[in-house]
Amino acid sequence: MTAQNPGSFHNWFRNIAAISVAAVFALVIVGGIVRVTGSGLGCPDWPRCYGGILPPADTKAIIEFSHRVTASLLVGPLILFLFIAAWVKYRRELWILVPATVSFGLVIAQALLGRSTVLNELSGTNVIAHLAVGEALVAALVVLAVVAFRGPLSLSIPSWAVGKTRRFPTLAVIAGVAVFLLLLSGSYVTITGSTGACFDWPLCQGDLLPEHRLQMIHMFHRYVAGFVGLFVLYSLHLGFRGRTQPFEIRVLSMIATTLFLAQVIAGAGAVWTDFSQALRALHLAMATAVWISLSALIILTFSQPGRRWNGTSSG
């Protein structure tokens, strides 16, 4: 068989990879609702809920159970299917096989961490690890989806990156790492009970440097967000300014910029509305949307649409 190009990938594989990204995003949104409603122990046992297959008629139990159902009946089967398909049909294509295998390993780790989080009554370490693995899973699936549509990656600077734009690929990768760390710092605010420590924005009870421990933790997240935000916005502006970038790079850079600004506004709005559950959940959802768009932008930047695959399909 001859080496295949990106267009020879079956549409069903591409579509399922894209659907899987959307499914994990939905799972993160449901997880955010679990967090902001305090439903993490809505089902105090695992995998059952109060010893039964279905949850009792309790709001928090239903919310927590819906998160488990989304993970086990939607996300899990989709990723298992991609894992099997990659090994059966595309096992010689490393840019497909590796992210599919990593995604499968991460979804298993996520399930085990979810179980441990419940059984350890929302241990702070487990909660942060659960989020970190979940966001890593999102990124791995984004890699898989973009590669399936666009072709294998090259780790060299793309030919269109010239002049000031030449810094964009490297800065975009650094920005991605920074956003991931920002997500974790936000989770730390939650597990330490620091969410409601500051009642105004951008200051904390009128102070730039509060003395109370919980307020300091809350403000530290804001400072990290401010520093990361400036760096991310600078990096993204290199993606949509100029004329050498491909159209999709410019568009996705603008989308990521808009999402980041919207996420900041949602965070401020949550404070101004006395920590409205709806705005807190939106803030968390927008954070993951930023992570997805930035991950897709990075992978798209290093994709090589005209490059042929090194291996061959085994199908």
Quick: pLDDT tens for 132-146. 999 999 999 999 999
Do 173 and 273 lie in a common domain?
yes
Tell me which residue range forms the domain holding 27.
Answer: 10-150
Do 285 and 195 lie in a common domain?
yes
Residue that is last in its domain, among 150, 185, 220: 150
pLDDT digits (tens, 9 = 90+) for 101-124: 999 999 999 888 878 777 776 666
The yes-or-no verdict on residue 315 having pLDDT over 80 is no
The yes-or-no verdict on residue 5 having pLDDT over 60 is no
307 or 138, higher pLDDT: 138
What confidence category does residue 299 fall into, taking pLDDT thresholds of 50, 70 and 90? Answer: very high
Instruction: Please report whether residue 51 resides in a domain.
Output: yes
Residue that is last in its domain, among 103, 125, 150: 150
In this prediction, residue 151 carries a pLDDT of: 84
CB atoms inside a 10 Å sphere around CB 244: 16
Give the type of residue at 257. T
In this prediction, residue 232 carries a pLDDT of: 96
Q: b or e along 49-82 (b: 16 or more beta carbons within 10 Å of the residue's beta carbon)?
A: beeeeebeeeebbbbbbbbbebbeebbbebbebb
Total tally of structural domains belonging to the chain: 2
In this prediction, residue 159 carries a pLDDT of: 86
pLDDT more than 90, % of the chain: 54
In this prediction, residue 98 carries a pLDDT of: 96
d(CA 81, CA 129): 25
Instruction: Please report whether residue 102 resides in a domain.
Output: yes
What confidence category does residue 291 fall into, taking pLDDT thresholds of 50, 70 and 90? Answer: very high
CB atoms inside a 10 Å sphere around CB 148: 26
Do 172 and 239 lie in a common domain?
yes
In this prediction, residue 122 carries a pLDDT of: 61
For residue 278 the two structure tokens come to 């709806």
What confidence category does residue 1 fall into, taking pLDDT thresholds of 50, 70 and 90? Answer: very low
Contacts of 87 (CB under 8 A, 6+ apart): 97, 100, 101
pLDDT digits (tens, 9 = 90+) for 170-212: 999 999 999 999 999 988 888 888 888 998 999 998 888 888 9
Single pTM value for the model: 0.88
Would the CA dihedral through 285, 287, 290, 295 be positive or negative? negative
d(CA 246, CA 244): 7
Tell me the average pLDDT across 300-308: 77
Residue that is last in its domain, among 125, 150, 175: 150
Do 104 and 199 lie in a common domain?
no
Instruction: Please report whether residue 5 resides in a domain.
Output: no
d(CA 269, CA 189): 17
Instruction: Please report whether residue 1 resides in a domain.
Output: no
The single residue listed with the structure tokens 């591409």 is 14
Question: Which residues are paired to 49 by β-bridges?
Answer: 52
Instruction: Please report whether residue 53 resides in a domain.
Output: yes
Instruction: Please report whether residue 2 resides in a domain.
Output: no
Nearest residue to 99 via CA among 143, 165, 163: 143
Do 165 and 314 lie in a common domain?
yes
Do 15 and 134 lie in a common domain?
yes
The yes-or-no verdict on residue 10 having pLDDT over 80 is no
pLDDT digits (tens, 9 = 90+) for 235-275: 999 999 878 889 999 999 999 999 999 999 999 999 999 88
Do 158 and 94 lie in a common domain?
no
Do 167 and 280 lie in a common domain?
yes
Instruction: Please report whether residue 3 resides in a domain.
Output: no
Nearest residue to 184 via CA among 221, 226, 222, 237: 221
Do 131 and 15 lie in a common domain?
yes
In this prediction, residue 204 carries a pLDDT of: 92
The yes-or-no verdict on residue 306 having pLDDT over 70 is no
Do 121 and 198 lie in a common domain?
no
d(CA 306, CA 112): 40
Instruction: Please report whether residue 280 resides in a domain.
Output: yes
Which has the minimum average pLDDT: 126-130, 133-137, 274-278? 126-130
Do 172 and 132 lie in a common domain?
no
Tell me the average pLDDT across 68-94: 92
pLDDT digits (tens, 9 = 90+) for 213-234: 999 999 999 999 999 999 999 9
Nearest residue to 305 via CA among 151, 190, 184: 151
Q: Containing H/E element for 75?
A: none
The yes-or-no verdict on residue 32 having pLDDT over 90 is no
Do 164 and 300 lie in a common domain?
yes
